[in-house]
């Protein structure tokens, strides 16, 4: 069977944008409203000669921090159960937030291969120094990406397929 790569992270960090960029088409809904991915969405992706099935996860719009955390926990649990490699997406513009630590801890404990993506790095010159704080998540090297501008995807995917 094909390798399954799941994309997890807080609402609005750019999971669906990254998913669509890697899939090469618009499959998942991208919106300014957080949490518009209604359910799991699947697409085929490939990098070099590696083929995989990608899963975009999301949820309904969280009404409170409690609901957000609950949703993120179940999202992470699902990814841990079903995925072979997990891309954990964070946002350089918001920096590391509490919910990131919480999910990072779950992912770390799972012993699954995790690739840490720091999205919205639209300019390395401008935001390059801001990626270092993401080492605090304890998930190793953060990979700066701009999903919207197709930057940094090669290095990210090189790291993903290393775990195949």
Residues 101-130: x/- map of binding to ligand GDP (CB under 6 A)? ------------------xx-x--------
Residue 80 is labelled as binding a ligand: no
- Which of the ranges 6-14, 45-53, 59-67, 71-79 carries the binding residues for ligand GDP, by CB under 6 A? 6-14
Count helices and strands in the chain by DSSP H and E runs: 5, 6
Residues 31-44 as b or e (16 or more Cβ within 10 Å = b): eeebbbbeeebebe
Q: Examine residue 11 and tell whether it contacts ligand GDP (CB under 6 A).
A: yes
Contact predicate 34/63, CB 8 Å? no
Sites for Mg ion among residues 83-142 (CB under 5 A): none
Q: Examine residue 9 and tell whether it contacts Mg ion (CB under 5 A).
A: no
Contact predicate 12/34, CB 8 Å? yes
Helix ranges (H only) for 114-152 are 124-127
Which of Mg ion, ligand GDP, none is residue 80 near (CB under 5 to 8 Å by kind)?
none
Please state the residue numbers annotated as binding site for GTP. Answer: 9-16, 56-60, 119-122
């Amino acid at each position: 069977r094909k390798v399954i790569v799941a994309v997890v992270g807080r609402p609005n960090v750019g999971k669906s944008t990254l998913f669509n960029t890697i899939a090469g088409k618009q499959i998942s809904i991208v919106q300014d409203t957080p949490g518009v991915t209604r359910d799991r969405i699947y697409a085929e992706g490939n990098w070099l000669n590696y083929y995989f099935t990608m899963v975009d996860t999301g949820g309904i719009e969280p009404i409170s921090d409690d609901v957000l955390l609950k949703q993120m926990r179940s999202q992470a649990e699902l990814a841990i159960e079903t995925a072979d490699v997990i891309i954990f997406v964070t946002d350089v513009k918001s920096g590391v937030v509490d919910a990131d630590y919480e999910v990072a801890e779950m992912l770390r404990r799972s012993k699954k291969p995790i690739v840490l993506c720091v999205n919205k790095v639209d300019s390395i010159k401008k935001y390059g120094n801001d990626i270092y704080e993401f080492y605090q998540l304890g998930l190793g090297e953060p990979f700066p990406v701009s999903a919207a501008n197709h930057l940094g995807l090669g290095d990210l995917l090189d790291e993903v397929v290393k775990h195949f």
